[in-house]
Amino acid sequence: MSVETETLSPAEELSNFGRARRRLLSNPAAIIGIVIVVSIVLAAILAPYIAPYPNHAGSFVDFRHRHNAPSLEHLLGTDNVGRDILSRILFGYRVSLLLVVGVLGVAVPAGVLFGLLAGYFGGIVETGIMWLTNVMLAVPPLVMALAITAVLTPDLIHSMIAITVLWWTWHCRLVYRVVKSVVAEDFVEAARVAGASHLHILFREILPNCAAAISVKTTLDAGFVILFGASLSFLGLGVQPPTPDLGTMVAAGAQFLPEMWWEAVMPGFAVLYAILGFNLLGDGLRDMLDVEI
């Protein structure tokens, strides 16, 4: 495949890219996805500047304003110690995105590498890696992550580790499948005959074929990592208070259901909003790049 793209003139490549972009932008669902994802990233970056009450992110207490229903003063209401929920959600997105970057930054390259190795070399390498992958995928990811956090103290870094340990397997299996389907193709054979090294074949010939699938999967994953982190902290095994985490906020708010419904529902919808955004964007990318995952 890389051979083909090299023969294209820059103008043709641009038009290819332009066509793909047009396909993405003519898909209303994908545009909504982009808007949501951009809004979340901006919220996380600009949280200290745009949050109505930036000092409410930590262990701030104002008992006179506790359990306030949504109003103009507090758009999404206040929690049980009087903190502005909107401000805490904006800061909560920082934690969520940090988790996404931390987990996918390690899990995706690791999964891709193992998938490439398993698919390309076969034999004992393949058996070993795929066996480990199947073992990890046989347990509910949440259960495995819970078990790992059980032996560690619950905090952001440890949830990151627990999720990463599980997450590489999905990318490993995905890349493995793609490699298996292209490894017998002529261009790989041609590179081998031409005396290319394993390194060259793996990273310059085979990897570009996996790029589309990996980027779609990674986009979809971002939403699910946020969900995963929120689920862990909802169960009390993730980020600990007073750090503003969406899952922790839902769990804390759930104690005051049904009267103070906004305390659990608003952060819950914030998680839903993030997953929705990454899902719509991921689906849009999938249609644009025309890959099946």
Partner 1 sequence: MIGYHLLRRTIGFAFILLGLSVVIFTVARVVPGDPARMALGPLATNEQVAQLQEEMGFSKPAVVQYFDYIGGVLRGNLGKSLLTSRAVADDIAQALPATLELVLFTLFLIAVLAVPLGVLAARRHNSWIDNASRLVSLLGVVTPGFVFAILLQLLVSHFHFFPLTGRLSTDIRFTPDITHLALVDSLLKGRFDAFADALSHIFLPALALSAAGIGQIMRITRSSMLDVARRDHVETLRSFGVPDYVITLKYMLRLAAVAPLTILGLEFASLIGNAFIVEMVFAWPGIASYGLRAILSKDINAVMAVVLTSGLFFVVANLIVDLLVGLIDPRLRARG
Least separation, in Å, of the C-beta of 24 and partner 1? 18
Least separation, in Å, of the C-beta of 145 and partner 1? 9
Complex with partner 1: residue 10 or 258, whichever CB lies closer: 258
Least separation, in Å, of the C-beta of 31 and partner 1? 15
Least separation, in Å, of the C-beta of 185 and partner 1? 25
Site residues for partner 1 per CB under 8 A: 131-132, 134-144, 146-152, 223, 227, 230-231, 234-237, 247, 250-251, 254, 257-258, 261, 264-265, 268-269, 271-272, 275-276, 279
12 vs 16, 23, 53, 109, 286, CA distance in Å?
A: 6, 17, 50, 30, 22
Complex with partner 1: residue 205 or 253, whichever CB lies closer: 253
Least separation, in Å, of the C-beta of 161 and partner 1? 10
Complex with partner 1: residue 60 or 256, whichever CB lies closer: 256
Complex with partner 1: residue 30 or 191, whichever CB lies closer: 30
Complex with partner 1: residue 50 or 135, whichever CB lies closer: 135
Complex with partner 1: residue 69 or 150, whichever CB lies closer: 150
Least separation, in Å, of the C-beta of 210 and partner 1? 22
